[in-house]
Structure 1
């Protein structure tokens, strides 16, 4: 792994994770810079989910080292990772459908009068939510509507906006356009593009549909067998090259299954 570079937010060196006799990650080397969008691709079982859980403090690595802005970091828990500016938005979004938009924006971080057991300051939360969503370019009918009345793309945008409001420096997006149509996917990719242009945050997009995210990513990593086997700037690769690599993954997986019989 090359030394830390200017603007580097996150670096992983030789991460490994074992669960008993099962090796989920064997040698992960990864870097993410400020203002960069990294596409993290790989088939089911390649190790993407385990890597994300390490980067968010849910799992501790069995070996290897994480660095935040060049300094060694040991993430003790999800809460600890969040306190250091690492946020993740998963496919379930962690939104409460019955609550309105601004209440979801402040979920578990509500603004109150009179200390932690006081009365909810709805006026402040509503105002801040409107300002924040407008600043991010997220268009919704109203912050007063329940999120159940929003489209899938709008709900995803709310979940992303909530993480950004919490001062995320590293944002991990798990399949942000999964099961979305072209219009809703475009909404999410526009939000990601705006965050990228802000230049302060590093974003990792975990995806299967690499063609859909190709244009917004600066670099592509491919995870296979618990290691990153491909790392190129997007400008130096193509959808066709990635397709060929994924086809190779499937062939190798099938050979492995047949060999184990």
Structure 2
């Protein structure tokens, strides 16, 4: 159906794509695999008309295809569903599905939106994807998984022939991922061609027929998914064998640094109590919506507590806002790195200094200041130390954060806190949407943190992550703390059962 031959794309000195070939067939899913920075996003932008190739050709149904803009791509039946859903929260699901192309009625001079037709058509495509909510529901009331269903419904409303799925399950729970994979199979059954980009190999093996591996903008391998293995694909991705993704974390936890006692919020969580020790990784696991992130926001003073107390070094502390938390040595890396963790238009240097500039005065004094003025020289020196320490791949410290790959963006978001020498680092979904090589770098950084005596709270929806790295795992469900396991004391089935409330054979989940 769709064929790319010899696609090249340059951005100044950066050669993002270098002669990429691929084919998409009706009713088949093609996995595009590669590390961050391999050229996957550039390829998607070429297929959706955002960028035009410098060299090479696109063919649709055997005819040359020229995509001058996104409208041309949509007219050709090519639609993308992205990891970060971009919608108008105050509009309804139907309005978001038909934004910019609403059905109209009336004479030419007095045409108005045909609301009844739009809502009816939107409801039809929402029902096709099994959305389970009304087309007139405001998007602000919907979960992230439901927003992805709107994106797919929008694609169906375009009569899409090619659907590009760009990390669509990065923030979904396991149950939502299963439902989404079923939706993909439904698209394939309709004869739609699917291009699936994901760092989760279990999803790719579950739904994809073929694969293409990109490395540094070059196609380095193609084949049938049924004949491939994960180690083989990892080798092609990285150009090296990744023998051990999870580093050994053998530190022995020391004295208690942070203690939470009976924390509660009117609508988000209740009865949360735990202690965190020096040199310890404490995991928080649960399905999306379990309340884990909300607890972390409360610890950082970003969400008000209804009751409970927070203790540091045996003394009760009042955390009224983020400045209080930072002054006590708490650091927070949020789940949404591009919206909450960094400022994309700012340089790498300015992002690395953000936490110190926003923190209490004593954190800045003598570090970035020269008298009452900001010292650009000192700021630059700190940025360079962090870039070297974290091996951040950037053209320069003055390059915008938006120009970095996802994994390097995450390193910057983590690095801005290390300049403050925190005592407790809260990592909320730290490997969301990054490839296995970048994950390995983040895991190694976490291991180094605890080896230096920092205490780490690791919030993750990826069960292998918390089970391999955390000394202890606290499981949450529906805003409550339902179980706690030490490393090695429970298998994956037991932990998932606790998180979902499912009964295990021979007993019940916690």
Normalising by the smaller structure, the TM-score range is 0.7 to 0.9
- Partner of 2:79, secondary structure, is strand
Counterpart of 1:54 in structure 2 is 46
Counterpart of 1:5 in structure 2 is none
- Partner of 1:148, secondary structure, is helix
Correspondence 1:125 to 2:118: yes
Shift of 1:74: 1.8
Shift of 1:20: 2.3
- Partner of 2:57, secondary structure, is strand
- Pick aligned residue for 1:146 from 133, 138, 145: 138
- Partner of 2:160, secondary structure, is coil
- Partner of 1:45, secondary structure, is coil
Structure 1 86/249 Cα, relative in aligned 2: closer, same or farther at 3 Å? farther
Structure 1 249/80 Cα, relative in aligned 2: closer, same or farther at 3 Å? farther
C-alpha RMSD of the superposition? 1.9
Shift of 1:67: 0.8
Counterpart of 1:99 in structure 2 is 91
2:33 and 2:237 in contact (8 A); partners too = no
Structure 1 147/250 Cα, relative in aligned 2: closer, same or farther at 3 Å? farther
Correspondence 1:207 to 2:232: no
In structure 2, C-alpha distance between the alignment counterparts of 1:132 and 1:73, rounded to whole Å = 28
In structure 2, C-alpha distance between the alignment counterparts of 1:38 and 1:122, rounded to whole Å = 37
- Partner of 1:193, secondary structure, is helix
Shift of 1:18: 1.4
Regions of 4+ moved over 4 Å? none
Shift of 1:180: 1.4
Per-residue CA deviation, residues 58-77 of structure 1 (Å, 9 max, x unaligned), is 11111111111111122111
- Partner of 1:161, secondary structure, is helix
Unaligned runs of 5+ in 2: 243-392, 394-510
1:43 and 1:224 in contact (8 A); partners too = yes
Counterpart of 1:181 in structure 2 is 173
Shift of 1:51: 1.0
Per-residue CA deviation, residues 122-166 of structure 1 (Å, 9 max, x unaligned), is 1111111222222x2423232221122222111101111111111
1:211 and 1:239 in contact (8 A); partners too = no
1:224 and 1:249 in contact (8 A); partners too = no
In structure 1, C-alpha distance between the alignment counterparts of 2:140 and 2:76, rounded to whole Å = 31
1:67 and 1:73 in contact (8 A); partners too = yes
The answer to which structure, 1 or 2, has the higher relative contact order (CA under 8 A, 6+ apart) is 1
Structure 1 131/138 Cα, relative in aligned 2: closer, same or farther at 3 Å? same
Unaligned runs of 5+ in 1: 1-8, 252-256
1:99 and 1:147 in contact (8 A); partners too = yes
What TM-score, normalized by structure 2, do the two folds share? 0.45
- Partner of 1:140, secondary structure, is coil
- Partner of 1:189, secondary structure, is helix
Counterpart of 2:57 in structure 1 is 65
Correspondence 1:160 to 2:149: no
In structure 2, C-alpha distance between the alignment counterparts of 1:62 and 1:142, rounded to whole Å = 44
Quick check: 66-75 or 88-97, which moved more?
88-97
Counterpart of 1:4 in structure 2 is none
Quick check: 219-228 or 237-246, which moved more?
237-246
1:58 and 1:77 in contact (8 A); partners too = yes
Counterpart of 1:197 in structure 2 is 189
- Pick aligned residue for 1:87 from 79, 91, 100: 79
- Partner of 1:58, secondary structure, is coil
In structure 2, C-alpha distance between the alignment counterparts of 1:29 and 1:45, rounded to whole Å = 18
Shift of 1:104: 1.5
Correspondence 1:232 to 2:233: no
In structure 1, C-alpha distance between the alignment counterparts of 2:190 and 2:155, rounded to whole Å = 15
Q: How many residues align?
A: 242
2:77 and 2:160 in contact (8 A); partners too = yes
1:17-32 alignment runs, 5 A limit:
17-32=9-24
Structure 1 179/137 Cα, relative in aligned 2: closer, same or farther at 3 Å? closer
Quick check: 115-124 or 54-63, which moved more?
115-124
Quick check: 43-52 or 87-96, which moved more?
87-96
Structure 1 230/128 Cα, relative in aligned 2: closer, same or farther at 3 Å? same
Counterpart of 1:242 in structure 2 is 233
Per-residue CA deviation, residues 90-140 of structure 1 (Å, 9 max, x unaligned), is 223232111111121211111122248632221111111222222x24232
Larger radius of gyration: 2
